[in-house]
Amino acid sequence: MGLVNHTVVTHFILLEIPNTDGLQTILFVTFLTFYLCTLLGNLLIFSAILADPRLHTPMYFFLCNLSIVDLGFSSISTPKLLANLWVKSRTISLGGCMSQVFFWHFLGSTECLLYTVMAYDRYVAICHPLRYLLIMNQRVCALLAAGTWITSSFHATILTSLTFTLPYCGSNVVDYFFCDIFPVVKLACADTYVIETVTFTNTGMVSMTCFLLILTSYILIVYSVLKMNSAEGRRKAVSTCASHLAVVMLFFGPCALIYTQPQLSNVLVTPVQIFSNVVTPMLNPAIYTLRNKEVKAALRKLRGGQMPPR
């Protein structure tokens, strides 16, 4: 009976980034630059890999998938954040909020699983080089990639459904700059213990399992590298893994802080979340191309340059 006088929420209002009064124009230009660089960088890598038959290998197949994830990931909250900064458009519909929650966890989970699959790919390439093409054949690669997307879709659907089956009938002001589960469920007119527990357990379980599998892969890789007699072989193995390790650290660092410490203040969480949403998807293409001669050669070919001899 106590809910009769409440109005059912049909939209939410997002807050601005804390402590940024007077910096909106600078932040808008900065985030817009990051966003455009993200789109350009990932589209270039995706196009270069598709255009160069020599890059039609398992490693670059998974890198294509990662580029697609980064394109989507950067588009979940950045356009709305830019609108908020430029025209003070802080209102988001219920459907828009649901979409942000779903795609944030869908693409976040997909990226996490992709890093795990890429670590396994490097393990097979370094520890079982003679059987690499047999193990990582086209069918296996397709199944691994499809598995990451399908599993993540179930993961995100469960969390989004639990979040928005709760009644929202009071305040509609989300104490954050985009819709995520913890800020949104604070507004629910019901007990949120189940969704908070499921989110913490589910997200933590996926991330921790993936991290442990990646760690195991690299322990085996290090053991195999130390047994190599060739210094050139060691150098190539380290070069193959360096880019992947860098992006893994950029991904799991913010995740560990945000989802293991959900009660942290927005002053601490917001910069970390912005780095994860806006900066990391832009850095991934740069990290994979700066030390990768094959990708740089494919990019030169894409723009009409001469392909160097292999």
| CATH label of the domain that carries residue 55 | 1.20.1070.10
pLDDT of residue 267: 58
Bridge-based pairing of strands 173-174 and 11-14 is parallel
Which pLDDT score is estimated for 242?
A: 80
Asked whether residue 306 carries a pLDDT value surpassing 60, the answer given is: no
Q: Give pTM, 2 decimals.
A: 0.87
pLDDT at 286: 82
Residue 2 lies in a domain: no
What pLDDT does residue 21 have? 78
Residue 305, pLDDT above cutoff 60: no
Summarised one tens digit per residue, pLDDT across range 201-219 is 777 788 888 989 999 998 9
pLDDT-based confidence at residue 310 (cuts at 50, 70, 90): very low
Position 31 pLDDT exceeds 50 = yes
Asked if residue 191 has pLDDT above 60, the reply is yes
pLDDT of residue 280: 86
113-115-119 Cα angle (round to 5): 115
pLDDT of residue 291: 65
Closest CA to 80 of 105, 110, 107, 101: 101
pLDDT value at position 308?
46
pLDDT at 284 over 80: yes
Domain-located, residue 86 = yes
Give the pLDDT of residue 55. 86
Query: Is 309 within a domain?
Result: no
Considering only residues 20 and 167, tell me which one the structure prediction assigns the higher pLDDT.
Answer: 167
Domain that holds residue 275: 11-302
**Domain-located, residue 118:** yes
What mean pLDDT comes out for the span 107-122? 93
| pLDDT for residue 129 | 87
* Structure token digits, residue 228: 């190599």
| Across 132-141, 246-255, 260-269, least confident range | 260-269
Mean per-residue pLDDT, 108-123: 93
pLDDT band at 309 (very low <50, low <70, confident <90, very high): very low
Asked whether residue 310 is domain-assigned, the answer is: no
Q: State the average pLDDT for the chain.
A: 84
**Domain presence at residue 307:** no
Average pLDDT of the residues in 216-225: 89
pLDDT at 26 over 60: yes
- Flag whether pLDDT at 197 surpasses 50: yes
Query: Residue 268 — very low, low, confident or very high, per pLDDT cuts 50/70/90?
Result: low
Please write the tens of the pLDDT for every residue from 132-181: 999 999 999 999 999 999 999 999 999 999 999 988 887 889 888 889 88
What is the total count of domains within the chain?
1
Look at the block and give the residue holding tokens 């912005």. Answer: 274
Which residue carries 């894409």 as its tokens? 302
What is the Cα–Cα distance from 127 to 122, expressed in whole angstroms? 8
pLDDT at 225: 85
Q: Is residue 95 part of a domain?
A: yes
What was the pLDDT predicted at 67? 92
